[in-house]
Structure 1
Amino acid sequence: MKTWQVPFPSYQSAALQVAGFFVFEDFYHFLAHQALHYGPLYRHIHKLHHKYSAPFGLAAEYAHPLETLILALGTLLGPILWTVFSGGDFHISTMYIWVTLRLFQAIDAHSGYDFPWSLQHILPFWSGADHHDFHHMAFTNNYSTSFRWWDHLFGTDDKYRAYRAKVKAAKEAGKDVKKVEMELLEETEKEGMIAEKKAEQSHVWQRAASK
């Protein structure tokens, strides 16, 4: 890894590397996050992070030290593997950019705000706060961190897609969308609490809750 050496990497090179790190970390997070929802891993580690069913920005870093280590590994592994297999063609400035953007992503996902200019309205496959908020309510859906495609591919966003479809149908029918959303989310949160209890009572690799 290069540290103080110049020239710095080109914008194109840094952007491609950071994009690759996002994809790698997202898949790692998708798998590790699901594992943290099972048995003792949830009961003793991940439960702390789920203290808030409606998270806020700082809740992104509110986690058990072991969870921080487990999930941080996905953030670090991408750059490490790239450095090893590229023969050291990696500059520390790119690492700074990557870690900064990753932190912004985590805070945004936990912010609870879905602005018109939020990235998911520009990139439909970006997760965003709406996607991750639903995870904290439903407990069994939306395990990815940055992108939506893994959840969609493996069917772990079924409840979320059903929720969005009902909201869309209510809007098209001219119903009070806010009221419908609140009712659906209240129902989702109740189901999530039941799923969480099942997760706490489950054994090591017994699935936390059925979809």
Structure 2
Amino acid sequence: MVICIRNQAIVFALHGALLYATFAKGLPPSIRVDAKLPSLEEFVRDLFFSVLSREALFYSSHRILHLRPLYRRFHKQHHKFTAPVAFSSQYAHPVEHISANVLPILLPPLLLKSHILTMWVFVAFQLIETSTVHSGYDFFGGAAKKHDRHHERFDVYFGGIGLLDYVLGTDEREDRRRGKKD
């Protein structure tokens, strides 16, 4: 619990530093905050690209964290949970928390200069998804089961939504074709 609170404090401090730096330089905020709601087309577009970008950023950073020297130093802490619970989604070394948890969620809406409403929906979806897959309860088509398999095997299911696991063969379909069980 203390590690999760520390990670939330890090996020809060980074957010405050970003806001202060933007304000001090007289720059407009990276996220659009105005009373005019985004059009449905803009909302769907930004949400779609944010989800795809998060998948690419999370998959790649998570896969890199499984390289032997980085795994031992940074990611092993998260894998102490072999039967994950929702809090374990943020039970991570600060380097991992920033590189794999925060930046993949924060960067897409910032780079797109999304409306604040779009960012809120995206962040809420990501928080629900990551808490759910770490909870052991399978609400999203087997996502929690796949993430549990990741915590058991370490060499499968590195992505959030599974798209890159499918494309890059880090799901278990190759194992099924070869008849490999565990």
Bigger Rg, which one: 1
Tell me whether 1:119 sits opposite 2:140 in the alignment: yes
Tell me whether 1:145 sits opposite 2:160 in the alignment: yes
- Residue pairs, 1:159-170, within 5 angstroms: 162=176
Structure 1 segments of 4+ aligned residues over 3 angstroms from their partners: 158-161
Q: For residues 149 and 108 of structure 1, do their structure 2 counterparts lie closer, same or farther at Cα, with a shift above 3 Å needed?
A: same
Give the distance between the partners of 1:46 and 1:52, measured in 2 at CA.
11
Match of 1:18 in 2: 47
Tell me whether 1:136 sits opposite 2:151 in the alignment: yes
Give aligned pairs, total. 150
Q: Displacement of 1:50 after TM fit?
A: 0.1
Q: Displacement of 1:69 after TM fit?
A: 0.5
- Residue pairs, 1:87-106, within 5 angstroms: 90-106=114-130
Would you say the 8 A contact 1:49–1:64 is kept in 2?
Answer: yes
Give the distance between the partners of 1:110 and 1:160, measured in 2 at CA.
24
Would you say the 8 A contact 2:55–2:163 is kept in 1?
Answer: no
Backbone CA RMSD of aligned residues: 2.2
Match of 1:82 in 2: 112
Report the AA paired with residue 98 of structure 2: L
Would you say the 8 A contact 1:141–1:159 is kept in 2?
Answer: no
Q: Displacement of 1:154 after TM fit?
A: 1.5
Match of 1:8 in 2: 37
Post-superposition CA distance 1:65-117 (Å, at most 9, x none): 1111101111122112212xxxxxx2112111111111111011111112xxx
Query: Gapped runs of 5+ residues in structure 2?
Result: 1-30
TM-score by length of 2: 0.74
Would you say the 8 A contact 1:134–1:160 is kept in 2?
Answer: no
Give the distance between the partners of 1:160 and 1:41, measured in 2 at CA.
26
Q: Displacement of 1:38 after TM fit?
A: 0.9
Q: Displacement of 1:40 after TM fit?
A: 2.1
Tell me whether 1:60 sits opposite 2:80 in the alignment: no
TM-score by length of 1: 0.64
